[in-house]
Amino acid sequence: MEKREHTIQDLCELTGYTRRTIRYYIQEGLLDPPAGRGRGGFYYDSHLKRLREIRALQEKGYPLAEIQTLFRKGATPEPVPVREVWVRVPLMEGVELHVSRDASEREGKKIDEIVRLARSILKGDIGDE
């Protein structure tokens, strides 16, 4: 099976964690260090999986110290389904756009432009030439 390589920026975008948080988790032993050194360091899917496990356990109410203890004991927490949060954006009566919270935070300006254009189209301001 091919292992995908990720930059720290990739991990930030895929998990919602900041670079600082990811580095902190490495420092605390919650996450393995990247392969390679310095700016050439990269992360595997296993790093991404671990960050998602941490996020899921936090959402279940586990404090970081308890998560750390679980991982140190080698206990593999039961797989927790990743819960996505969606934002509903009304465009007009009976029509709405659903955007994941992650995408909304990451692509806020683009989403705002999509909403503006969609509302214009639905009002008939664009495309009726």
Give the pLDDT confidence of 45-102 residue by residue, as tens digits.
Answer: 999 999 999 998 888 888 998 898 888 877 655 555 556 788 899 999 999 999 988 8
Q: What is the pTM of this model?
A: 0.55
Question: Is 24 in a helix, a strand, or coil?
Answer: helix
**What is the band of 36 on the pLDDT scale with cuts at 50, 70, 90?**
confident
Pick from 47, 50, 105: nearest CA to 77: 50
What CA–CA distance (Å, rounded) separates 13 from 57? 19
What CA–CA distance (Å, rounded) separates 58 from 36? 29
What CA–CA distance (Å, rounded) separates 31 from 99? 30
CATH top class, domain 5-72:
mainly alpha
**What is the band of 12 on the pLDDT scale with cuts at 50, 70, 90?**
very high
